Amino acid sequence: MSSDFGSRAPIAGRPSQRGSGTAQLREVLEAHRAWLEKLPEGKRASLTAWALNEAQLEGAGLRGALLRGCSFLEAKLSKADLSQCVMIRCDFSQAVLAGADLSGAELKSCAFDACLLSESNLIEVRAYGCRFCRALLREARMMEGQFQECNFTGAVLSGASLHYASLGSSDFSEADLEGALLYHASAAGARFVGARMASANFTAARLQACDFRHAQLLAARFNGADLSQSCFARATLEDCDFREARLRGADFWGASLENARFEEADLMAADFRGANLRGARGLTATQLLRARTDETTILPNGKRGAYLKGSGAERPLSGPARPFP
């Protein structure tokens, strides 16, 4: 028997609850509402192994609920209040959570694959080992969230707000982060391989030992960021802002850095072999002598070769590095 609310999954040692799923869930929601209002008849919602697949739960009030092993496959949860919830091994794959409030929630080993989370509120979320593969998170608010070892491969986070977020060891490979705000974010060891991040803002972010191979970072801002030991091999970094950035030991092999800015950047042991620095601004002889260049490097003045002291190759071309439309 199906219902708008779904049904509770059978539990070992207990009969199936399919016939009474709707009534049970309504009772749980009513008791939880009373609990939130601190009424004596109230009881905090605590659901274990409930199957709520395709459930119609738009605007549901589950703030502070405990959800363990629940399935919300393709459920409709737009504008639902899931703030302060504790969710453990729950599956929201392909669910609709547009505009939902998950602020302050604790998520452990949950799945949000292909989930619609656009314009959702994930401020101060604590997520550990969760999957957001191919999830739609356009303009989601994720400020000050902790997303440790989470998988965002192929996710769409264009225009998302991730400033002051902690993204340690998370994977954003092939994700769309165009125009995303990540200033003051901490993402040591994160992967951004092949990600699309044009105009993303990483100002003052801590991005040590990150993997940006083949990433598209046109006009991204890294001013004041710590990118020590990060890899940008074959990345598109044209018009990027690296002013005052810490780039010690960073690998730019084969990267395109045309017209990038490097004023006051720390380039100790940065590797520009095979990189294109044509038109790069703000570089000094001291900076380039501390970095690694060779015959495959294209220097700011457009000439190919290792940087030599006194050559003046640190000065960019007088005109634009490429024609503008």
Residue 24 lies in a domain: no
At residue 259's C-alpha, the angle toward residues 255 and 265, to 5°, is 80
Instruction: Decide if 93 contacts 41 (C-beta within 8 A).
Output: no
Residue 225 lies in a domain: yes
pLDDT at 317: 78
Share of the chain above pLDDT 70, in %: 91
- What is the domain-level CATH number for residue 246? 2.160.20.80
| Structural domain count, the chain | 1
Among 237, 245, 266, 233, which residue's Cα sits nearest to residue 203? 245
Residue 82 lies in a domain: no
Residue 46 lies in a domain: no
pTM: 0.90
Residue 159 lies in a domain: yes
**238 is in which domain, residue-wise?**
152-325
| Residues counted in the chain | 325
Left (φ > 0), alpha (ψ -120 to 50) or beta: where does 201 sit? beta
pLDDT at 323: 44
Mean pLDDT of 66-74: 98
Q: Identify which has the larger pLDDT, 323 or 1.
A: 323
Instruction: Decide if 225 contacts 203 (C-beta within 8 A).
Output: yes
Q: What is the pLDDT of residues 214-244, one digit of tens each?
A: 999 999 999 999 999 999 999 999 999 999 9
Q: Is the pLDDT of residue 20 over 70?
A: no
How far, in Å, CA of 10 to CA of 19, rounded?
Answer: 11
How far, in Å, CA of 72 to CA of 96, rounded?
Answer: 10
Q: What is the pLDDT of residues 292-302, one digit of tens each?
A: 999 999 999 99
Residue 93 lies in a domain: no
Residue 143 lies in a domain: no
SS3 154: coil
Residue 169 lies in a domain: yes
